[in-house]
Structure formats: structure tokens, C-alpha cells
Structure 1
Amino acid sequence: MKRLLLLATGGTIAGCADDRATLNNYTAGVLGGDALLAAVPQLRELAAIDVEQIANVDSADLLFEHWRLLVGRIREALAADPELSGVVITHGTNTLEETAWLLQLLIEDPRPVVLVGAMRPATALSADGPLNLYQAVQVALSREARGHGALVVMDGQIHAAQWVSKLATQGVGAFASPGSGPLGWVDDVGVHLPMASGSRQVPFANLDLPEQWPQVPIVYGCVEPEPLLLTACLNADVAGLVLTGTGAGQLSAAERSALQDWSGRRPLMLRANRCGSGPVHHHPGDERLGLLPAGSLNPQKARVLLLLASIAGCDGVALAGLIAQRQLIS
């Protein structure tokens, strides 16, 4: 029988409410990974699954230390056991896309790493967690999932880490991949996913994650933004900064003026957009201000890239080189 590693981190999929009709007022991260596995006995027919608890929190409370432990355990498990088919991670949906993107940039092994969550707590009528978990295991065991990097399985759809995002606060179909659509789907017939073509870029495959991570805030664009927020970040000597511009990543005149007038050290800076989909392209004035376009990455994923780039000691030239790899952030 195939072997699989299940790493549990908490979230709604492990959440409990006082009664079965409650969908919103519940506590995330109550049930352990063993309980999630026991709730779906059909999983025993698919694989021998080892369960480990990395954390048991609402994913809004996920910490860099949890990320460090998760990455370390995945790397260790894949390196130690060549017969391990893959890894499944149960995760809260609020920051699931960020963890998926982090793993995409760090895990080089072609075996599937599949993240899964739920939009309804485990105690709810028609809870979506059990089926999501079953389908995530199906994907992780499939030959077709090899080589795609980190995948997200929600509501029967299989999403790539680069594109997937949570787009709604409620409903089992809250996840989508704007601009690309899902890679495939999974049902009782099996996994419907094209085979990965060629090798993929894993720019931080050998990066060791520190206990102390750099500071990388996100500044959000709006009508008449307060320049003090941007200036405060620059004065704090942050390692990186994501500017969430309006439209196609456009900054206001006040924001550009604040950057133009800044005479201190410039952090690594990516210019993303607040629209939810669509790319941010190069602007002729970006170099003068120390900005780089974030491509298709939303602000939270742009932040993950800057965190890892800062840890790796990348300068602006090296970061520009990563961005130029279209398959990384097209």
C-alpha cells in the first residue's frame, strides 16, 4: 500500500461549533489531525497515512515559526523516505494561499505537496472538510500530480500555488485561480490533471529558514493615501515592502513623491495591485524609485517572495532576475 504523510496545522477543517447549524461562530483548530483522519475511514483504503501535528491554530494566527517547522518537516520526510508518495497539509483557508506559494518556492522534490482546508467547521451540517481531505489524498497519491509543485485542493478543484486565492468569505467554492482557472479536478472517478511538462523553477530550494524573519509590510493604495505610512516603513528600515497600487499597480503622486524624496537605504520593493487579478507590468519610472513589478502575484504572495529573497540576501538585481523568469511569476 502507498504511504502518505499528513501534516495538520489547524484551521476551519479542524474547527468546532456549539451546534451543527452554526457556520460562522466557531473555534478553529480544535480537532487534531488524528481526528480528521478517523472521520474519513475510507482513507485507509487509499494509503497508509502517518499523521503529525505541526500546529493547531486559526491560519490568521499562523507564525513564521510554523512555516519554518512545516518546511523543515516536509524536506526531512521526502529526503528520508524515497517510497513516500507525497504530503498532505490540512490548513486554515485564510492564509492557505500564502503557505502554498511559500512551499512552491522552497520544495524542489517532484512528489506532490497538497494543501487542503474547509469553509465549514467539522461540526457543521454538510461539512466540506471530509470530502476535501479525501480528494486531497487522492491527488497526493496520483501520478499526474508529480512535478506540479504545491497544489491546493478545494471543492473538487485542483489549483496551482501561484494562481490560487481565496476570493469569498463564505461558501464551499470560495477558492479560484483568477487569470488561469484550476489546473484540473478530482472526483470519485479519479484525478483529472495534465502531466507536468518539463522542470519547474524552485529558486530557494536550498534556503535555510531562520528563527528571526525580516520585516516586510504591505502598504495598501487608496484615494489620497497617507504618505506617513510609507515613510514610517522606510524609517523603520524594513527589509522589503509591497506597494499595493490601484488599477494595474499604479501609485499616487504622493506615494511616488515620498519614494523620490527618500534618501536612506531602499528596501526591496514590489509593486502589486489590489484588483484581485491581472498582471502588473514594468513602468518607465520604476527604476528611479527602486520598484519592481510583481507580475501576477497578489500582494500577500509578493510579500512571501520578498521574505524569501531577503532571507537569501538578494539585492534588487537578483530579485529582478527572479522576476524575469516568466514561469516563476508570469
Structure 2
Amino acid sequence: MVALGGTISVPGGARGARLSGAEITAAVPGLAELGVALDVRDVHAVPSGSLTFGQVLDVVELASRAVADGADGVVVTQGTDTLEETAFLADLVWPHEAPFVLTGAMRQPAMAGADGPANVLAAVRVATAPEARGAGALVVLNDEVHAARWVRKTHSTNPATFGSPSAGPLGHVVEGRVRMLLAAPQHEPLKAGPDRERLEATRVALHVVTLDDDGAQLQGLETTHRGLVVAGFGVGHVPGALAPRLGALAEHMPVVLTSRTGSGSVLRHTYHAPGSETDLRRRGLIDGGFLDPFKARVLLRLLLASGAGRDAIAEAFAVRG
């Protein structure tokens, strides 16, 4: 178990105080009765909004060594703000059958109805469950098991915030039993360790399209960034006036088209007006499929940092989108 910080570790009271992983697990009723030997590590005790790609990949490497040394599974506790992104990043590079389970909490330990203990207990159950092997990175909260590929944080405060709008949960924890009802998407893991300096230098922008958007914010982007993810309207549309600017950027860098709606896929060839998905694909934009903008940015940055060219990037999105 790797503890990264976040709400699950904030005891309340003293500013800056954090619970250690051992303190978090000590407060979980029923955990000792599971008979699971936990090796608890404290790493990067920061709010999840301050985590970096490099730090997440460090955790994946630590977890990979633990599995190679005989661990049956891995649990990572962190803040929920970036959980959907860190989980997907881990899922892209996780090479083992052993479950890689991420969890957290929406309520601090001292609050009424704190959800951290129940989430940790469920996460440990999933990490040691034979039914969860081979499922890659999983997010477990509120007794639901979600694939990193689909999961989203959908509410700012509700403990039931995590859902998978396009697919639903893969499974549930019921009376202490892990019930997997659906299979997680299976893909070959990407290269786990791009050069960290190259990764740090690989900047990928995310542009959310809005009403009457003229693309002024994108001016000069080709000189500062190596890639762009566009969160378009609905099925992948933008204002007609913005389309030429995106096409010009696509001549210099990979530009991936996604939907800002939060679920569903962008289309490929249903609409044909200027700024439609057909028009944007003709201008060189890459189809992001079902990937939401945040996950598309994670995938694009990792691919670019690993040296992938445009064709390889388009193929990766065709497979994973």
C-alpha cells in the first residue's frame, strides 16, 4: 500500500498535518481480520493537484518492484481531485496481472460519515481478489470497482462522486466479496519509463471550446507546446471560425479531438459543416473516440515523451479511444 496524501490523510485541526499510511490503515475496522499482510509505504504526501507525471510513474515503478518481489496486489491512497488522471496514467503502463487499485476519500477522517476507512477496506479486498487480476488499474470507492479507462469524478463534494458514465462500474464489493460483472479493457502497456527530462519538457495543451470561440488563446501554441487536445462541443464540433486555426496547428503537432460533454464518443463522419467532426478530421485532427479530454491529454503526453510520431499516435488513439 502506497500512501500519497489527499483528503483521506487530512486529520483536521493543525494546518499541514497529515496521517501516515500506517495511521490510515490503523483506523480501518475489519482490516486486520482480513489476514492480509500489508507493506505500507509513505510517498509524495501532497494534495493530488500537486502530483506530477513523474511522481505517478515513480509510484508505478515502486509498485512493480513490489509485485516482482511477491506482492499479490497494490493499493494507492491519494486525493480525489486528479484520481481519474493518475489512474489512467498508471493503467497505460501497468504490466502485471496483479491489481493496481487506487482509492481515496471525499470526507476527512474527523468528519461525520468519513468514507476513507470503508474505501481502504474495499480497495484491499479488490487488490487481493483473484477476480480482479488482469484488470489493470482500478478505482475503488463507495464499494464500486471502476476501470481507470472509464472513471470520472462527477461531483465536487458527494461521496458517491466517482462513476463511469460511458460504461458503468466493472464490479461491486458486496458483503466483503468482490463481484466483477464486466471485463476491463485489455491493451498492451506502453513504455513505462520515458526519459524524465523529456517527459518534463513535453507540454500538451488542453483547449475547451466555448460559445463564439475564435481561438485567440491558441495563438503561438506551436512554439510552446508539442501537442493539443481539443474538448469540442457535443460529438466533436467547434465554431466554423476556429476550424482553420486548429487545422493550421495540426500541421505542426498532433491535435486530438474529444468531447467536452463528459461521456460518449466524438463522431467521425456524420456532420459535414465547417467545424464539424468530418471537417476537423479532414484538416488533420486525430479522433479521440470515447476518451475524455483529460485522459486524452495523459495519453498524448506519454506518447510524445516516448518519441511516438503522428501515425503511431493516431494508431494508439484508434485502439484506446
TM-score, normalised with respect to structure 1: 0.88
- The verdict on how the C-alpha distance between 1:229 and 1:28 changes in structure 2, with shifts beyond 3 A counting, is farther
CA contact (8 A) 1:7 1:88 kept: yes
* Alignment partner, residue 75 of structure 1: 64
Quote the residue 1:3 is aligned against: none
Which of 152, 170, 176 is the matching residue for 1:165?
Answer: 152
RMSD: 2.1
1:245 corresponds to 2:232:
yes
Higher mean Cα deviation, 90-99 or 36-45?
A: 36-45
Q: How many angstroms apart in 1 are the aligned matches of 2:246 and 2:315?
A: 22
Query: Structure 1's 272 and 260: CA in aligned 2 closer, same or farther, altered over 3 A?
Result: closer
**Paired residue secondary structure (1:179):** coil
1:312 deviates by: 1.6
C-alpha change, 1:206 and 1:11, in structure 2 (3 Å) is: closer
Q: What is the aligned partner in structure 2 of residue 308 from structure 1?
A: 302
Q: CA deviation at 1:202?
A: 2.5
Structure 1: runs of 5+ lacking an equivalent: 1-5, 19-25
Distance 1:184 1:161 in 2: 13
Flag the 1:28–1:258 CA change in 2: closer, same or farther, 3 A.
farther
Q: Determine the C-alpha separation between the residues in 2 that align with 1:152 and 1:125.
A: 23
Q: Report the equivalent of 1:21.
A: none
For 1:66, what is the secondary structure of its paired residue? helix
Is 1:255 matched up with 2:242?
yes
Kept after mapping to 1: 8 A contact 2:289/2:318: no
Which residue of 2, 8, 14 maps to 2:9? Answer: 14
State the alpha-carbon separation in 1 of the partners of residues 230 and 182 from structure 2. 36
Is 1:273 the equivalent of 2:259?
A: yes
Cα distance in 2, alignment partners of residues 29 and 268 from structure 1: 42
1:145-179 deviations in Å (ceiling 9; x for gaps)? 00111000010111011110000011110011001
Question: CA contact under 8 A between 2:235 and 2:265: conserved in structure 1?
Answer: yes
Give the structure 2 partner of residue 63 of structure 1.
52
Deviation at 1:15, TM superposition (A): 1.5
User: Counterpart of 1:127 in structure 2: which amino acid?
Assistant: A
Does the 8 Å CA contact 1:13/1:28 hold for their aligned counterparts?
A: no
> 1:140 corresponds to which residue?
127
Separation in 1, partners of 2:281, 2:236: 15
Q: Which amino acid aligns with 1:294?
A: G
Moved more, 141-150 or 251-260: 251-260
Contact 1:132/1:155 (8 A) holds in 2: yes
The aligned residue for residue 32 of structure 1 is 20
TM-score, normalised to structure 2, is 0.90
Identical columns (%): 37
Q: 1:209: how far off?
A: 4.8
Give the direction of change, closer, same or farther, for the CA distance of 1:252–1:235 in structure 2 (3 Å limit): farther
Q: Secondary structure at the match of 1:49?
A: coil
Task: Report the counterpart of residue 138 of structure 2 in structure 1.
Answer: 151
CA deviation after TM superposition for structure 1 residue 226, in Å: 4.2
Aligned to 1:51: 40
Tell me the number of residue pairs that the alignment of Structure 1 and Structure 2 aligns.
310
Work out whether residues 159 and 177 of structure 1, in 8 Å CA contact, stay in contact via their aligned partners in 2: yes
SS in 2 for 1:151: strand
Structure 1 counterpart SS, 2:49: helix
**Structure 2 partner of 1:293:** 287
Distance 1:168 1:51 in 2: 30
**Structure 1 residue 53: deviation in Å?**
1.4
Contact 1:8 1:89 in 2 (8 A): yes
The Cα of 1:206 is off from its aligned counterpart by 4.7
Secondary structure of the residue aligned to 1:277 is coil
The 8 Å contact of residues 29 and 57 in structure 1, kept in 2 or not, is answered as no
Taking structure 1 as reference, are residues 68 and 119 closer, same or farther at Cα in structure 2, changes over 3 Å only?
Answer: same
The aligned amino acid for 2:168 is G
Residues 92 and 27 (structure 1), Cα distance of their counterparts in 2 relative to 1, 3 Å cut: farther
Question: Alpha-carbon deviation of 1:314?
Answer: 1.2
SS at 1:57's partner residue?
coil
Mapping of residues 180-259 of structure 1, within 5 Å: 180-194=167-181, 196=183, 200-211=186-197, 212-213=199-200, 214-236=202-224, 238-259=225-246
Deviation at 1:195, TM superposition (A): 7.5
Cα distance, 1:45 vs structure 2: 2.6
Q: Quickly say closer, same or farther: Cα 1:125–1:209, change in 2 above 3 A.
A: farther
Gaps of 5+ in 2: 269-276
Aligned-pair distance for 1:298?
A: 1.0
**Distance apart, 1:41 and its partner CA:** 5.3
Question: Structure 1 residues 275-284 or 200-209, which shifts more?
Answer: 200-209
Structure 1 counterpart of 2:218, which letter? L
CA distance, structure 1, for counterparts of residue 39 and residue 116 of structure 2: 18
| Contact 1:15–1:27 (8 Å) recurs in 2 | no
> 2:311 aligned with 1:322, yes or no?
no
Q: Could you tell me whether the CA contact under 8 Å between 1:230 and 1:255 is conserved in 2?
A: no
